[in-house]
A and B are shown apart, each in its own frame.
Chain A
Amino acid sequence: MSKYSPEEKVKIARNPGRPGTADFIDALFTDFFEQRGDRLSREDGSILGGIARFHGRPVTVIGHRKGKNLEENLRCNFGMPGPEGYRKAQRLMKQAEKFGRPIITFVDTPGAYPGKEAEERGQGEAIAQCLALMSSLTVPVIAVVTGEGGSGGALALAVANRVLMLEHAVYSVLSPEGFASILWKDSSRSGEACEVMKLTAQDLRRGGIVQGVLREPEGGAHNDWQATFRTVDAALRKELAGLDKLKGPALAQQRYQMFRAMGQGLPPAGKEEP
């Protein structure tokens, strides 16, 4: 058993000293070429993406970006994307598919931004299209939840052939605060929410939601970035090598079947045919 409670893990997962998407890109990839804009209306800094080499091989890399100081936080909207961010991600993924590049995503967001303009421009539609697109991609997709995997805003980058999580990362239907506020009308009961939500990497691995848990250095990834990078690098290499054995449509099918099976064990499966 882990020595940290789910509530403590939420704190570690949110530690601003943890490596973020930009740090992982710096450390694990070479030749990063950032691609900006959704080609419709604007650039959304809360999603960082582009082309890079992973051990020499061109890949598309996309992730949530929170920023490291207040100025960056504001520019990245604290890692809460609007529809433009999700549409940029779609653009990059379609391009990756066209050029046969694997896609690697880093997931770290409190959630999609609940703002007026975001709604006006179709936040729900943008996320839905991300999910639909990712489910059908014919290139390998690997997602790594590195910090907070908050709600649909996280899932929109995580419909992958393999979903990995750092040991102290969390991934949930909503933030524990939001969860407590909806169910108990009291966001201060978030600690209690953490306990019942099954949001830790270990719980999610058991539930078949993620396929691998990546060991963090003592106390959390913020204590030793280099060790974290080595672990993530090794895991990505291994998973990519495994997925390379599958060809285009088989990748889409494997991904489809994996998500298809989530929550299927329901009694009794009605068999009647009209």
Chain B
Amino acid sequence: MNGLFRQRRDRLLTYQAMREGKLTPSRRIACPACGAESTALDWNRNYQVCPKCGHHNPVEAYYRLSMILDPGSFQELEEKLSPADPLEFPGYPQKLKALEEDTGLRDAAVAAVGMVEDHKAVFVVLDSRFLMGSMGTAVGEKVTRAAEYAEKRKLPLVIFAASGGARMQEGIFSLMQMAKTAAAIRHFQDRGGLYISCLTHPTTGGVTASFASLGDIMLAEPGALIGFAGPRVIEQTIGEKLPEGFQRSEYLLDHGFLDQIVPRDQWRSVLGRLLALHEKGGRA
């Protein structure tokens, strides 16, 4: 039954993309990892994972949610939350405005309440198209409000991270979002809340060093870059080349920082199963 729904939803997503002109079915697109060309239709049917080598291309926040949530269960939270410019940083408001026009997002995080295989949860998804998914005050505030919402309604919290870290343009206020989000997650967890952290490419800096690393359950997409310092900074510091696969999901799994790696087409079933194992929002 579920398989049938999934097929129908997948087809719907593909048609929707074609209608919106985002997809010319026959256009050939090269994989950034292996270089092999596949048609846009094949990329789309494969959730933007290379049909040849399995490389996971980043996906947009709403697309991610539509892949995971039960059809019709999506309700956005805090959609009006907008970024601030606490440093009055030159050119920043203009940049935000241009990005809003480009992406349709007010900032880099989308929050929603929805169901996965009939289990209700609160979701936050970061979108790397918006200033590398960096965390300024609006992203920090959205993550915090989502955690508070989940706590109040005794729902589990699922966050998909994709971020370059703290947002430079909001300076120290971005740094404080690390403390704020970590505190909100801890508050939620101390009161019995289940938090599943899902790391996608890339998750680095202040996001890795705050809410993204605090999951009761830690999951990641294959091949995602996950770390505190970026590889370039490390190479400059230590004066040597980093080995192949350094700071990738598989490396983190080997070093004990992840529970499992989840390929993109399996998020829905894995999350559905985990939520079912934590009925009543994780409270016994």
Q: Are B171's CB and A172's CB within 8 A?
A: yes
Q: Which of A131, A159, A197, A260 lies at the interface centre, i.e. has the most chain B CB atoms within 10 A of its CB?
A: A131
User: Which of B8-16, B34-42, B234-242, B259-267 makes up part of the contact surface?
Assistant: B234-242
Bound state CA distance, A123 and B257, in angstroms? 11
User: Which of B23-31, B61-69, B174-182, B272-280 makes up part of the contact surface?
Assistant: B174-182
Q: Are B176's CB and A209's CB within 8 A?
A: yes
Bound state CA distance, A208 and B55, in angstroms? 44
Minimum distance in angstroms from B202 CB to a CB of chain A: 12
In the complex, whether B17 has a CB less than 8 A from a CB of chain A is no
Q: Which of B136, B174, B233 lies at the interface centre, i.e. has the most chain A CB atoms within 10 A of its CB?
A: B233
Bound state CA distance, A122 and B212, in angstroms? 12
Within 8 A of B (CB), among A125-159: 125, 127-129, 131-136, 151-152, 155-156, 159
Chain B positions within 8 Å of A174 at CB level: 166, 168
Within 8 A of B (CB), among A33-79: none
Q: Are B75's CB and A274's CB within 8 A?
A: yes
Chain B positions within 8 Å of A129 at CB level: 213-214
Q: Are B171's CB and A262's CB within 8 A?
A: no
User: Which of A19-27, A109-117, A232-240 makes up part of the contact surface?
Assistant: A109-117
Minimum distance in angstroms from A179 CB to a CB of chain B: 6
User: Which of A9-17, A95-103, A218-226, A265-273 makes up part of the contact surface?
Assistant: A265-273
User: Which of B45-53, B77-85, B97-105 makes up part of the contact surface?
Assistant: B77-85
In the complex, whether B19 has a CB less than 8 A from a CB of chain A is no
In the complex, whether B206 has a CB less than 8 A from a CB of chain A is yes
- Select which of B180, B212, B230, B247 is within 8 A of A260 by beta carbon: B180
Fill in one digit per residue for B128-159: 1 if any A CB lies within 8 Å of its CB, else 0: 00000000111011001000000000000000
Chain B positions within 8 Å of A128 at CB level: 178, 182, 208-214
Bound state CA distance, A123 and B255, in angstroms? 12
Interface size for B (C-beta < 8 A) is: 66
Q: Which of A115, A128, A178, A196 lies at the interface centre, i.e. has the most chain B CB atoms within 10 A of its CB?
A: A128
Q: Are A131's CB and B178's CB within 8 A?
A: yes
Fill in one digit per residue for B170-192: 1 if any A CB lies within 8 Å of its CB, else 0: 11111111111011111100100
- Select which of B84, B87, B169, B183 is within 8 A of A131 by beta carbon: B183
Closest 5 pairs between A and B when the two form their complex, measured CB to CB: A263-B137, A114-B229, A135-B183, A124-B208, A131-B182
Q: Which residues of B contact A (CB under 8 A)?
A: 75-84, 86-87, 89-90, 113, 136-138, 140-141, 144, 166, 168-180, 182-187, 190, 205-206, 208-214, 226-230, 233-234, 237-238, 242, 246-247, 255-257
Q: Known contacts A114-B234, A118-B229; can you find 13 more A-B pairs with CB under 8 A?
A: A112-B209, A114-B229, A116-B242, A128-B213, A133-B186, A183-B169, A196-B87, A199-B171, A255-B183, A265-B84, A267-B82, A267-B84, A270-B80
User: What are 25 residue pairs bridging A and B, where the CB atoms are less than 8 Å apart in the complex?
Assistant: A114-B234, A122-B255, A124-B228, A128-B178, A132-B185, A132-B186, A135-B186, A151-B166, A151-B206, A152-B205, A155-B176, A159-B182, A171-B172, A173-B166, A178-B233, A183-B169, A196-B87, A198-B87, A207-B86, A209-B172, A260-B183, A260-B184, A265-B84, A270-B79, A274-B75
Q: Which residues of A contact B (CB under 8 A)?
A: 112-116, 118-125, 127-129, 131-136, 151-152, 155-156, 159, 171-174, 178-179, 182-183, 196-199, 204, 207, 209, 255-256, 259-260, 262-270, 272, 274
